[in-house]
Amino acid sequence: MNQETLYYTTLCSPIGELLLVSDGEALVGLYLEGDCRRPEPSALWRRDAERFHSAAEQLAAYFAGELTTFALRLAPRGTAFQLRVWELLRRIPFGATVSYGELARRLGQPGASRAVGAANACNPISIIVPCHRVIGSNGALTGYAAGIERKKWLLDHESQVLPGSQSRLSA
């Protein structure tokens, strides 16, 4: 995301300010406040809230508990392995959690749970590509670029939206 014109906007959310980034065709980034990987807009970036109208509406509906599946054009940038992991993340149902080891098994690489964790940590499109739904094999919350408290909030929010869903969380 360095030498090209990108578009961005910021949105307020219950877990802090969100930074949305687009290449003009698709969403390439959604970063939470406090995210250690959150980029700073450069001179080549252009603020354009209208470009993010659909994303803003869907995120508002998600936070209001009215939307469980996003329908947005996404173009995350990463290695082939990261892209495979991020695609698997999108298949984790709303309100559910899986372990890093389970994701590695789903990739057909059962010994790659650490690599899955590293790819998960590099996910550039938080919430929509739900890396917050990945937990430790013992059910414990593990790292989250924007802080464990935000990960816990997102998981709690989803479990409250889906009555009867069981959250397998431990702090």
Q: Catalytic residue numbers?
A: 131
Q: What CA–CA distance (Å, rounded) separates 171 from 157?
A: 15
Kindly report the length of the chain: 171
Q: What CA–CA distance (Å, rounded) separates 141 from 151?
A: 8
Check the CA dihedral 12-18-21-22 and report its sign.
Answer: negative
Q: What CA–CA distance (Å, rounded) separates 84 from 112?
A: 13
Beta carbons within 10 angstroms of residue 47's beta carbon: 10
Helices then strands (H, E): number in the chain? 5, 6
Structure tokens at 66: 């009215």
